[in-house]
């Protein structure tokens, strides 16, 4: 495929200017590219864009659109964190940003004692501190809370694309904290897939774990992608790049994996909406 809908720049936690990503996208032969920096979180600065930079972000993408109009189609998006009572894709500053589409994600599943939002992506000792103080030393409670928040986002404030569904496993290398094939975990995943299917949203297959060697497959895992595909959930492959060199990282392996699951099309933003793009089978050389 010749597109990527999810990537970050220096406007949030990425490295490099938007122009650097456009140059790399052209080098990779992409025909379209979507910027989706982390949206400003009004209540604080947690690796997201500053609220006062949102206007500059939009203007820079518009400038690049005009500059490269005959070379590549550029899209304007944000990865919007769902924080109940704080922010969602329907927050005023998100609606006013003039986005082509939204990517919804859950990264924060509780608050530490001093009121700081706690992310399951934080390394130790903060990761284990959150499990201990927020969830009473129960990784299961933390995981079930995460999937409950994803379902709440999908049902109450649905984005166009649901990001990296099982990102919750980021620190669960080799099942260090829970068994990802336990009945309770599979049930939480399947209930969430049912919600995504019911809302007719796109589910991202995120390649970040592959090219960073975090995990052996995608976010979500192929067994989840298989169950999503069986439900008719629309799929989309994104790299979640934070550096220009990662724009198409893991794409070859991931598209091969999707074909092996019987996926025949992914969804791309084109002409003002998401449309299916057929996956072509490459003949052996």
Digit-coded pLDDT (tens) for 191-236: 999 999 999 999 999 999 999 999 889 999 999 999 999 999 999 9
Topology (CATH) of 3-278: TIM Barrel (3.20.20)
Q: Is the pTM of this model over 0.85?
A: yes
Tell me the angle at which helices 139-156 and 183-199 cross, rounded to the nearest 10 degrees: 10
Specify the pLDDT at position 45. Answer: 56
Structure tokens at 18: 């938007």
Structure tokens at 87: 């922010």
CA dist 26 and 71 (Å) reads 8
Specify the pLDDT at position 285. Answer: 33
Specify the pLDDT at position 115. Answer: 86
End-to-end alpha-carbon separation of the chain, Å? Answer: 19
Percent of the chain with pLDDT over 70: 96
> Stretch 101-119: mean pLDDT, rounded?
93
Q: Any idea where the domains of the chain sit in the sequence?
A: 3-278
Q: Which residue has the tokens 């909406």?
A: 273
Output the DSSP codes for 6-21.
Answer: -B--TTTT-SS-HHHH
Residue of 60 and 117 predicted with greater confidence: 60
**What are φ and ψ of residue 204, in 5° steps?**
-75, 140
User: Sign of the CA dihedral 240, 245, 248, 249?
Assistant: negative
Residue 61 in contact with residue 72, Cβ under 8 Å? Answer: no
**What are φ and ψ of residue 123, in 5° steps?**
-70, 165
Least confident of 89-93, 114-118, 156-160: 114-118
Specify the pLDDT at position 282. Answer: 52
């Amino acid at each position: 495929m010749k597109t990527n809908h999810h990537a970050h720049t220096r406007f949030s936690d990425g490295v490099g200017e938007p122009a650097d990503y456009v140059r790399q996208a052209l080098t990779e032969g992409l025909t379209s590219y979507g910027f989706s920096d982390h949206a400003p979180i009004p209540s604080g600065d947690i690796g997201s864009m500053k609220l006062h930079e949102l206007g500059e972000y939009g203007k820079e993408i518009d400038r690049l659109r005009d500059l490269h109009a005959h070379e590549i189609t550029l899209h304007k998006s944000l990865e919007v964190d769902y924080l109940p009572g704080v922010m969602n894709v329907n927050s005023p500053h998100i609606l006013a940003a003039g986005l082509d589409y939204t990517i919804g994600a859950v990264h924060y599943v509780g608050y530490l004692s001093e009121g700081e939002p706690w992310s399951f992506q934080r390394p130790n000792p903060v990761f284990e501190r959150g499990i201990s103080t927020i969830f009473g030393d129960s990784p299961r409670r933390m995981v079930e809370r995460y999937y409950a928040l994803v379902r709440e986002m999908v049902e109450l404030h649905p984005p166009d694309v649901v990001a990296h569904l099982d990102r919750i496993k980021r620190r669960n290398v080799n099942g260090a904290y829970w068994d990802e094939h336990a009945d309770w975990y599979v049930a939480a995943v399947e209930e969430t897939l049912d919600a995504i299917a019911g809302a007719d949203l796109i589910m991202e297959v995120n390649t970040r774990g592959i090219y960073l060697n975090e995990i052996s497959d995608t976010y979500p895992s192929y067994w989840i992608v298989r169950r999503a595909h069986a439900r008719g959930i629309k799929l989309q492959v994104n790299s979640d790049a934070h550096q220009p060199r990662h724009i198409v990282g893991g794409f070859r392996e991931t598209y091969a994996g999707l074909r092996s699951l019987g996926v025949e099309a992914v969804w791309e933003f084109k002409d003002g909406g998401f449309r299916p793009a057929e996956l072509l089978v490459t003949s052996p050389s």
